[in-house]
Chains A and B, each alone.
Chain A
Amino acid sequence: MSEQVSVMTGNEAAATAAKLARVQVIAAYPITPQSPVVEQLAAWVESGELPAEFVAVESEHSAMTVCIGASTVGARTFTATSANGLAYMTEQVWWAPGARLPIVMCIANRAMAAPWNVLNDQQDSMSVRDAGWVQLYCRTNQEILDTTVQAYRIAERLHLPVMVCYDGFLLSHTMMPVAVPTAEEIDSFLPPFTEPFTVVDVDDPRNIGPVVIADPRADETGVVRGGYMEIRAMHHRALLEALDVIVETDDEYAAAVGRAWGGLTWEYLLDDAEVVLVAAGSLGTQATVTVEALRAEGIKAGVLGIRAYRPFPVEALRDKLAGRKLALVFDKALSYGYEGPICSDLRGSLLGVEGAPAVFGAVCGLGGREVTPDHLADATRRAIADLEAGARTRETDWINLHLDGE
């Protein structure tokens, strides 16, 4: 049997991927715009189509806690959330990577309250970028399906949890054709997970995740065990290793299923581009339309899309951007009191690199504010004018903002 193409939402693509991955435990609490992911999975579990445990919990904190417990005994687990649900989950969001559990969580990106807002931006997942998860951002529903399946392979190779992020409503509730791989294709790509770090054995009981003292210390058998810093250093090393594993996994997926998504980054009309629009998620897709329009005006513009935001693909970005004139970063999030998170990360990674472009930041789309290719084009023309006027840095440009009723 070959791949079937179905028309489905991003949420259905995420649920389909979890089913294809043969997840064993799902725990979730409803929140817009994520809810249809786990509603679909619950329906499949109820009908018997998906032989998994669906644990209905009373909060996102408990959803992640159930995933942590199930993953600790070696089960393949899944959850999904958005915005305030992710924030409520935060304590356990930190536990999962520290305990090196290969949990996969989809984030249908949504604005953080207050003021209350259910629409898209990327502030939610950006706010936990430092927790030690792999974070991948998707631009289409097909990429959501493929990336969620890939996420299990990445997670289980490295013993790290993976967040698959996609824009709420713009992808989560938008229908697109999605090719669904066969169960055989995914089974060959993603074998069962058999090697958890943790051991649960009634004949050989362990303390799992006991307190560690500041310094390394010998255990009861005389073997020196790491202190907090050693365990965290190994965690960090695994995340850096993900830079290779994400690319390898994308290649393996291409061999098994016939599609790849660029690994760490993706690009459009980048070869000869002097001005590079940088974005994560569906905003990057918008930017592809923008650069076509800019090229019609004689501006050599291209797009560099961030697929892996954590680990941050420093070398790949240096390679792609050295020799350009300008990198204009469009963030759908803000580190309040500073600037967009991708913008500052990118500027830092290019510091001291020969031929590095000027890096300007723009913030857009917060709380679902409309961003059109024209908005991005106007912002790019402003940035080019600033650069030609001699600016090497400047304040963050707010796109489509209307203060004072203007």
Chain B
Amino acid sequence: MSEISMSRPAVGEAGRTGEWRNSRPVVDPSKCLAVRQGKVTCQICWAYCPDGCIAQGVGPVIDLTYCKGCGICAEECPAKAIEMQPEATHGVCAIDEDEEVAR
């Protein structure tokens, strides 16, 4: 076992941080500039996400396994297309327990 904390950069290296989330970003495609223009444009949510959980595209794809729910994307979206909704309104944080890594 390694005597110090050290890792290689990789998806999920800091753990399943989506478990920390108490509110989630929900995208309204009808407001998203990229969706409305039908091309990869704007991408401000992708640029601002501090955890790299948002994929570029025509309409953002947010990886809820790792999204901590910080709300920066919603704050920065110029079209107000992202709303932070309490997790309680979505039931328990929807993470596939089969993906749980070895302990």
Contacts and interface: CB of A to CB of B under 8 A. Distances in A.
Contacts of A209: 4-6
Contacts of B6: 197-199, 206-210
Interface stretch (A223-231, A275-283, A365-373): A223-231
A215 B103 CA distance: 7
B11 A220 contact: yes
Name the prevailing secondary structure of the A interface residues. Answer: loop
B2 interface: yes
Contacts of A219: 7-8, 10, 13
Contacts of B2: 197, 225-226, 231
- Of B3, B8, B11, most buried by chain A (CB within 10 Å of CB) is B3
Interface residues of B, number: 18
B4 A210 contact: no
Interface residues of A, number: 33
A101 to B, nearest CB: 9
A217 B103 contact: yes
B102 interface: yes
Nearest to B7: A207
Interface string A51-90: 0000000000000000000000000000000000000000
Interface of B: 1-15, 101-103
A206 B6 CA distance: 7
B4 A99 contact: yes
Given A210-B13, A216-B103, A231 B4 contact: yes
Contacts of B10: 219-220
A235 B3 CA distance: 7
B13 A197 contact: no
A205 interface: yes
Contacts of A213: 14-15
Given A222-B102, A234-B3, 9 more contacts: A99-B5, A159-B3, A199-B6, A207-B13, A209-B4, A209-B6, A212-B5, A217-B103, A231-B3
